[in-house]
Amino acid sequence: MNSKDKHILVIFGGSGDLTQRKLIPALYDLHRKKMLPKTFAIVGVGRSDMNHESYRNHLAVGLEKYHSTPPDKSKDFLHLCYYIQSEFQSYTSLELFVEQLYEIDIKIQTKGNFIFYLSTPPSLYEPIVTGLGKAKLNISSERFPGWKRLIVEKPFGKDVASAHKLQQHLISHFDEEQIYRIDHYLGKETAQNILVTRFYNTIFEPLWNRNYIHHVEITSAEQEGIGNRGGYYDGSGALRDMLQNHLLQLVALTAMEPPTNFNADSIRNEVLKVFQSLRPLNLDNLKRQVVRGQYTQSHIDGILKKAYTEELDIPANSRTETYVALKFFIDNWRWGGVPFFIRTGKNLPTRVTEIVITFKSIPHPVFVKTASTQESKNQLIIRIQPDEGIAFRFGVKIPGIGFDVETTNMNFKYAQKEGIELPSAYERLLHDCMQGDASLFTRGDAVDLAWQFVQPILDEWENNPDFPLYGYPAGSWGPKEANDLKVGYGDWRYPCKNLNSDGGYCEL
């Protein structure tokens, strides 16, 4: 389906890494699938000294590297791309930016319809938004009469106070309905399939509550360390970088009530209710609910893996966490008493993100050989990445004499569907914004509640130097102390075992 309204997508940070690796490949795919408006342009804005032609060459290099698209195949798309060099700080620079944008708008006749994408360091969000306000590019005006939308990349602050400050600044220039806070996890096909699995299939929805579900476990494991992101990561850590946003959004999709209608307001209202129902973390029990870790040096298949404190730009005494696991509860009618376990970490054995719904055991253990084990519980496994799909684990009789039971999987994998090309997360989310559909974007009030939930952890870590920071060997599944969180609820699910240093995909 084409995005109807002609418009210009203005990318601040247009010469940056995210633009080259993710945004331009996603936009190229939309172009290739004829899902862009017939009248459309991309305007990159950055400090680099480039013109339109050199910018197109820069993007062509990125498409060949990150999308395997040779330059001769991307020419038509690249002709949609323009470049404005701008510091966007001084009045003179802002005025020049407006004039150049106006020229492009008049040339292709987009009537002042703009999406502004903040693909920059968070420190530039406020000055850019202020500049857009000064130039009246946040509203419909005589010179730019069309609609205006603003896409904001995470992080949305680094704690409650900074998130609130950013929110106040954003809404002082843009209405909440104009703001699209992007979380690429919500653009993943299987994340959206959570809603279909739950609310379309009558075999699941009646069981999706405290009466039948034993516990919920969500894992987001990354095989790589921090790479060259040390300068950013050491001021962030796993809690801010992953848990507060990506994982809590997956919690919301898993736990929300059915929306009244499948539109942005209804869906995001239900997400908000989940965050409103999160049981506040008790400082007295925090050590029994939260485990933080940091990867240490190890050898895997003879290959040396650095410790976190040996990485580039990381202080030797850093206490930044590269792993965090959390146990918590949602206090509402559906989930009362059901524990949620979430964990994320770097330098784990493989790259995998999945949600595991573990159902309660049968009330009377007829088949005693397996009734007492974790394996005897039915599980629904929703794989977000990689090898996207869904598996249902259930017991079957082992052929032969007697009634011995083994667990088997009923699998669905997107990769097995012929002729299906899964859109990237950014492809889906960019297209939704072009359509004016904010269903999969985060609302400001939900961001605030998510920060309020994790703020006690941040405060305790900052104020209590004795709060444990456990080491775990790079390439392992994290600190062994994380197992204590699940006492009484079985082991964490380890989807990939006996991996070598190459890791690889995990079967469902």
Q: What is the arrangement of strands in the sheet containing 7-12, beginning at the earlier edge strand?
A: 81-85, 40-46, 7-12, 114-118, 148-153, 179-182
CA 274 remoteness from chain centre = 18
Backbone φ and ψ of 245, nearest 5° = -115, -75
- Is a pLDDT exceeding 70 seen at residue 188? yes
User: Token match 């850093």: residue?
Assistant: 318
CB 479 within 8 A of CB 492: no
Q: Encode pLDDT of 446-499 as tens digits.
A: 999 999 999 999 999 999 989 999 999 999 999 999 999 999 998 898 776 544
- Is a pLDDT exceeding 80 seen at residue 419? no
- Is a pLDDT exceeding 70 seen at residue 313? yes
What pLDDT, on a 0 to 100 scale, did the predictor assign at position 187? 87
Q: Encode pLDDT of 213-264 as tens digits.
A: 999 999 999 999 888 788 889 989 999 999 999 999 999 999 999 999 888 8
Q: Encode pLDDT of 144-176 as tens digits.
A: 999 999 999 988 999 999 999 999 999 999 999
What pLDDT, on a 0 to 100 scale, did the predictor assign at position 506? 54
Average pLDDT for residues 130-149, to the nearest whole number? 94
Q: Encode pLDDT of 51-98 as tens digits.
A: 999 999 999 999 999 998 887 888 999 999 999 998 877 667 889 999
What pLDDT, on a 0 to 100 scale, did the predictor assign at position 375? 58
| Higher-scoring residue by pLDDT: 494, 315 | 315
Q: Encode pLDDT of 344-378 as tens digits.
A: 999 999 899 999 999 998 877 776 555 445 556 88
Give the closest residue to 248 by CA, choosing from 214, 286, 275, 288.
275
pLDDT grade for 504, boundaries at 50, 70 and 90: very low
| Model confidence pTM above 0.85 | yes
Token pair, residue 7, equals 């418009």
Q: Encode pLDDT of 34-64 as tens digits.
A: 999 999 999 999 999 999 999 999 999 999 9
What pLDDT, on a 0 to 100 scale, did the predictor assign at position 128? 94
Run of H or E including 171: helix 160-171
What pLDDT, on a 0 to 100 scale, did the predictor assign at position 145? 93
- How many whole angstroms separate alpha carbon 466 and alpha carbon 285? 15
Annotated catalytic, 164?
Answer: no
CATH 3.40.50.720 corresponds to the domain 7-153: yes
Instruction: Tell me the β-bridge partners of 353.
Output: 220, 385
Backbone φ and ψ of 124, nearest 5° = -95, -5
Token pair, residue 91, equals 């009045």
Within the chain, which residue ranges are assigned CATH 3.30.360.10? Answer: 186-362+418-425+438-486
- How many whole angstroms separate alpha carbon 30 and alpha carbon 37? 10
Within the chain, which residue ranges are assigned CATH 3.40.50.720? Answer: 7-153
Helix/strand/coil for 150: strand
CB 120 within 8 A of CB 23: no
Token pair, residue 306, equals 């650095």
- How many whole angstroms separate alpha carbon 149 and alpha carbon 138? 8
Query: What topology does CATH give the domain 186-362+418-425+438-486?
Result: Dihydrodipicolinate Reductase; domain 2 (3.30.360)
Maximal C-alpha separation, the chain: 86
User: Token match 């801010």: residue?
Assistant: 240
Catalytic annotation, pick one of 67, 214, 246, 431 = 246
Which amino acid is present at 360? K
- How many whole angstroms separate alpha carbon 119 and alpha carbon 103? 23
How large a percentage of the chain has pLDDT more than 90?
A: 65
In SS3 terms, 280-291 reads as CCCHHHHHHHEE
Half-sphere exposure of 297 (CA within 13 A, CB side): 6
Token pair, residue 491, equals 């082991």
- How many whole angstroms separate alpha carbon 257 and alpha carbon 104? 45
- How many whole angstroms separate alpha carbon 166 and alpha carbon 209? 36
Mean predicted lDDT score pLDDT of the chain: 89
Helix/strand/coil for 104: helix
- How many whole angstroms separate alpha carbon 462 and alpha carbon 160? 14
